[in-house]
Structure 1
Amino acid sequence: MDKVKEIVSEINSGRPKPIYFLMGEEPYYIDKISQYIAENVLSEEEKGFNQMVLYGKDTSVDEVVANAKRFPMMADYQVVIVKEAQHLSRTIESLVSYAENPQPTTILVICFKYKKLDKRKKLYKAVQKSGVLFESNKLYENQVSDWIRRAMAGKGYSISPKSCIMLVEFLGTDLSKINNELDKLTLVVSTETEITPELIEEHIGISKDFNNFELKKAIGERDVKKASRIIDYFAQNPKDNPFVVTVTLLSTFFAQLLQYHGLNDHSPGNVAKVLGVNPYFVKEFTVAAKNYPMKRVSGIISSLRELDLKGKGVGASNMEQSDLLKELLAEIV
Structure 2
Amino acid sequence: MAKQSQTVETFQNILQELKNKIYKPIYFLTGDEPYFIDKIAEYIEDNVLSSSEKAFNQTVVYGRDISAADIINAARRFPMMSNYQVVIVKEAQNVRNLSDLEIYLKTPLNSTILVVCHKIASDGKKSSDKLSGVVKLAKQKGIYFESKKFYDYQIPDWIVGYLKDKGIKIDPLAANLLTEFVGNDLSRLAHELDKLAIILPADSKLIQAADIERNIGISRDFNRFELTKALGEMNFARAMRIADHFARNPNANPFVLTITAIYQYFIKILKYHFLADKSKASVAKELGVNEFFVAEYERAAKRYSPSRCVSIIHWLSEYDMRSKGVNNGSTDHGELLRELIYLIVFGK
2:198 paired with 1:187: yes
How many residues align structurally?
A: 332
After TM superposition, the runs of 4+ consecutive aligned structure 1 residues lying more than 4 A away are none
Q: Is the deviation greater in 277-286 or in 228-237?
A: 277-286
**Aligned pair in 2 of structure 1 residues 257, 206: CA closer, same or farther (>3 Å)?**
same
Distance 1:132 1:116 in 2: 19
Partner secondary structure for residue 305 of structure 1 = helix
Contact in 1 for aligned 2:28/2:135 (Cα 8 Å)? no
Decide whether aligned partners of structure 1 residues 283 and 87 sit closer, same or farther in structure 2, where only a CA change above 3 A counts: same
Per-residue deviation, 1:57: 1.1
- The separation in 2 between residues aligned to 1:83 and 1:226, in whole angstroms, is 49
Q: Does 1:17 align with 2:24?
A: yes
Tell me if the contact between 1:23 and 1:116 (Cα under 8 Å) persists in the aligned partners.
no
Task: Map 1:8-157 to 2 at 5 A.
Answer: 8-88=15-95, 91-114=97-120, 115=126, 117-118=128-129, 121-157=132-168
Q: Is the 8 A contact 1:313 1:319 kept in 2?
A: no
| Residues 18, 131 of structure 1: 8 Å contact kept | yes
Q: CA RMSD in A?
A: 1.6
1:308 paired residue number: 320
Secondary structure of 2:128 counterpart: coil
> Would you say the 8 A contact 2:247–2:334 is kept in 1?
yes
Q: Quick one: distance in 2 between partners of 1:20 and 1:116?
A: 18
What are the superposed Cα offsets for residues 171-197 of structure 1, whole Å, 9 maximum, x if unpaired?
111111111111111121146331111
Q: Aligned partners of 1:242 and 1:269: how far apart in 2?
A: 33
Question: 1:269 — aligned with what?
Answer: 281
* 2:93 alignment partner, SS class: helix
Q: Normalising by structure 1, report the TM-score.
A: 0.95
Question: Residue 240 of structure 1: which of 226, 237, 252 is its match?
Answer: 252
- TM-score using structure 2 length: 0.91
What corresponds to 1:330 in structure 2? 342
- 1:138 CA drift (Å): 1.2
Please report how far the alpha carbon of residue 120 of structure 1 lies from its aligned counterpart in structure 2 after TM superposition: 8.0
The correspondence of residues 159-308 of structure 1 with structure 2, limited to 5 A, is: 159-190=170-201, 192-308=204-320
CA change 1:318–1:183 in 2 (3 A) is farther
Give the direction of change, closer, same or farther, for the CA distance of 1:193–1:121 in structure 2 (3 Å limit).
closer
Structure 1, residues 274-307: CA drift from partner, whole Å, max 9, x if none? 2222111111111112222222111111001111
The 2-side partners of 1:263 and 1:109 are apart by: 45
Question: After superposition, what is the alpha-carbon deviation per residue over 1:242-290, rounded to whole angstroms, capped at 9, x for unaligned?
Answer: 1111100111111111111223433222221222221111111111122
Gaps of 5+ in 1: none
Mapped to 1, the partners of 2:32 and 2:271 lie a distance apart of: 29
Q: 1:283 to 1:92 in 2, by over 3 A?
A: same
The residue identity in structure 1 corresponding to 2:113 is I
Whether the aligned pair in 2 keeps the contact of 1:140 and 1:173 (CA below 8 Å) is yes
- 3-state SS, counterpart of residue 107 of structure 1: strand
Deviation at 1:240, TM superposition (A): 0.4
Aligned partners of 2:13, 2:302: CA distance in 1, in Å? 48
* Pairwise CA distance, 1:236: 0.3
Q: Distance in 2 between matches of 1:320 and 1:216?
A: 21
Q: Which stretch of the first structure deviates more once superposed, 249-258 or 309-318?
A: 309-318
* Unmatched tracts of structure 2, length 5 or more: 1-7, 121-125
> Secondary structure of 1:314's match?
coil
AA aligned to 2:160 is R
Deviation at 1:119, TM superposition (A): 8.6
Secondary structure of 1:121's partner?
A: helix
Conserved 8 A contact 2:99-2:130:
no
Post-superposition Cα deviations, 1:25-80, rounded to whole Å, max 9, x if no partner, equal: 11110000000000110011111111111001111111111111111111111111
